[in-house]
Amino acid sequence: MNWQGLLVSVRDAAEAVEAVEGGADIIDVKEPRQGSLGRAEPAAAVAVARVVAARRPWTMACGELGGQSGGDVDGEAEATGGAAISRHLDRVWSLLAGGAMSPAAVKIGLAGAAGTDWRRRLLTVFESLPFDSERVAVAYADWALARAPTPGEVIAAAAGLGCSTLLIDTFDKSAGGLFDCCQPGLPAVWVAAARAAGLQVAVAGRISQDHIPAAWGLRPDVVALRSAVCFNGRDGRVQAELVRRAVLRSAGRLHAAPVG
């Protein structure tokens, strides 16, 4: 898939309608109350797929490989996170049997996975995908807080995991956004490293309306938003008018000044 444009994360079909009407290029499904990559209920994901239909590609967040949305990740959760994700994917597949389009891509977070055999475990989940979706490698800019592998480790492993795209995101949504949670210049370094590895790149992490030009200045293929296009922030509701504003701020992305 040729990833390009503005991605908006939605939690249900009603928000998907707003995102499409506002001009989003890609619709992503997740439950923001469950964390950075919180997975929505299977029925909600399929309802979004039916609303979006063939008008836009849709993608799906599947949770954390460690089984936790935040805080400490204990050994038991770490052992069962992959199995829970696989069960979730199988359930979505069974509900899609009525003819709705499968997700164009799936994303699985790596919070709590540092120091574990995360490459093998993640590959096992990817290889059990019940549909032909692209695999997205997820690197957290605040990896130390998330107890996740470093972005460099994720980029180095992406090809072996069959991933075509790198998502650079933030784990702690209560803290600052992508440009606040790491040293200046690091996001640009990660984008360049991903490009050198042959990956397409998406950037996310509480990117505000004002920071949209700077996000495009990193030269990604995709800028992903939620809080910036919601009334009352991340836990609020996506609104078409806010999506339109984001689209307008993205209009000059091909001419945005590079960052870093």
Sequence letter at residue 93: W
Model pLDDT for residues 41-76, shown as the tens digit of each residue: 999 999 999 999 888 999 999 999 975 554 333 333
pTM value surpassing 0.95: no
Q: What is the pLDDT of residue 2?
A: 66
- For the chain, which domains are there? 5-255 (3.20.20.380)
Tell me the C-alpha distance between 29 and 238, whole Å. Answer: 12
Nearest to 207 by CA among 150, 146, 164, 250: 250
Q: How far is CA 155 from the centre of its chain?
A: 15
Q: What is the pLDDT of residue 173?
A: 85
Tell me the C-alpha distance between 121 and 259, whole Å. Answer: 34
Q: What is the pLDDT of residue 78?
A: 38
Model pLDDT for residues 97-146, shown as the tens digit of each residue: 767 789 999 999 999 999 999 999 999 999 999 999 999 999 999 999 99
Tell me the C-alpha distance between 253 and 46, whole Å. Answer: 31
